[in-house]
Structure 1
Amino acid sequence: MEEMIEYILQFGNLNKQQTELITSKGQILQLKKDAYFSEAGRIPKQVGFVVEGVIRGCYYNNKGEEITRCFISDRSLVCDYVNFEASTVSSEYLQACTDCHLIIFPKTDWEELSYNIVGWDNIRNKMVQLCMYQKSRKGPVISQDATSRYLEFMENFPSLINRIPLSYIASYLGVTQQSLSRIRKNIR
């Protein structure tokens, strides 16, 4: 919980009672690798804070191919927030790439913080903006060659290279796993 409070305090000030209220509403969730935090076809019901682990945002294109859109790692907020707020069905998945340790807030508890903490809406909005920016970051530029895309991935996500399956990195880069293996071999 300490990591989460440190994260929240980057976006605004809270007193001891307010942080205790937030802590009391947070629930611990251990998400096993490959399990879903939220799923396409369902209404997202919770906001999470990734204490440790990596979650990916993914969807299926019109050809039925799985596309990884983003990675959300340690000390970040995770949520399909637009659908969470509107109580509408999601079109993407948020899936654990590794075993994950999260602190989650069911919708009612998340909303209750707005009623009980002065200034919470401003803090929440800043956290959500960052979360949505991280999720909406465009993947690598497809006009780049595959090696350049991988090198850029290594530069932008150095901590993920050895933590997540190559198939997810390949999907994010828009290449086959075999191509990615060749690229990695040639770089070494």
Structure 2
Amino acid sequence: MKELIEYILQFGSLNPQQIALISSKATEVEIKKDAYFSEAGKIAREVGFVIDGIVRVCYYNNKGEEITKYFIDENNLVVDLESFDNEICSSSYVQAITDCKLIVFSRKDWLELLDTILGWETIVHKITSKALRQKVERRSPLVSEDATTRYLKFLEIYPNVVNRIPLSYVASYLGVTQSSLSRIRKNIS
């Protein structure tokens, strides 16, 4: 819980009663490797905070190929925001790619925090804005670069991830085949 509170306090201040309320609404859960936190075709009903492990956001394209959009590692919130906020079916999967420990809030409890804690909405907005900026910063350079540059950029963006996840997910994220990724890795090491 300490990690979550420290994370939140980067975006605004809370008094001890507010921190206690947030803590009382949170549940620590473990998600096994390959299990889903939320699934395409279903409405996202939880907000999570990754204490330990890595999740990925992925979808299937019109050819049925699995595409990894991005990874979320420790000390970051995880939620399919569009699905959660608008109560619409998600188009993506959020999957644990290592065993994960998360602090989770139900939609009901999250909304109650928004209604109860003065300034919580501002904190959540700042967290969301930072996450969206990161998402754009992480994807933008990948669009126009060659595969080797994309891989080097990936290592820079996700320094704690590459040795903990299957290379097939990295290849999917970079938009290359696994054999291409193996060649790239061999050439730069």
* TM-score category of the 2 structures, normalised to the smaller one: over 0.9
Which amino acid is 1:105 matched to?
Answer: F
Match runs of 1:89-128 below 5 Å = 89-128=89-128
Residue 41 of structure 1: CA displacement? 0.3
Which amino acid is 1:33 matched to?
Answer: K
Summarize deviations over 1:32-62 as a string: whole Å, max 9, x none.
1111111000000000000111111111111
Correspondence for 2:61: 61
Residue 163 of structure 1: CA displacement? 0.9
CA distance in 2, matches of 1:177, 1:15: 49
Summarize deviations over 1:50-87 as a string: whole Å, max 9, x none.
01111111111111111111111100000001110110
Matched position secondary structure for 1:172:
helix
Higher share of residues assigned helix? 2
Matched position secondary structure for 2:102:
strand
Correspondence for 2:76: 76
Gaps of 5+ in 2: none
Residue 97 of structure 1: CA displacement? 1.2
CA distance in 1, matches of 2:23, 2:185: 43
Matched position secondary structure for 2:43:
coil
Is 2:56 aligned against 1:52? Answer: no
Matched position secondary structure for 1:63:
coil
Correspondence for 1:146: 147
CA distance in 1, matches of 2:108, 2:146: 46
Give the structure-1-normalised TM-score.
0.95
Which amino acid is 1:24 matched to?
Answer: S
Summarize deviations over 1:75-106 as a string: whole Å, max 9, x none.
00000011101100000111111111100000
Q: Percent identity?
A: 59
Give the structure-2-normalised TM-score.
0.95
The alpha-carbon distance between structure 1 residues 149 and 59, as it changes in their structure 2 partners (threshold 3 A), is same
CA distance in 1, matches of 2:83, 2:135: 13
The alpha-carbon distance between structure 1 residues 140 and 169, as it changes in their structure 2 partners (threshold 3 A), is farther
Deviates more, 1:164-173 or 1:176-185: 176-185
Contact conserved, 1:32 with 1:96, CA < 8 A, in 2?
A: yes
Correspondence for 2:133: 133
Matched position secondary structure for 2:139:
coil
Which amino acid is 2:59 matched to?
Answer: Y
Which amino acid is 2:133 matched to?
Answer: Y
Correspondence for 1:159: 160
Q: What is the RMSD computed on CA atoms of the aligned residues?
A: 1.3
The alpha-carbon distance between structure 1 residues 139 and 162, as it changes in their structure 2 partners (threshold 3 A), is farther
CA distance in 2, matches of 1:135, 1:27: 26
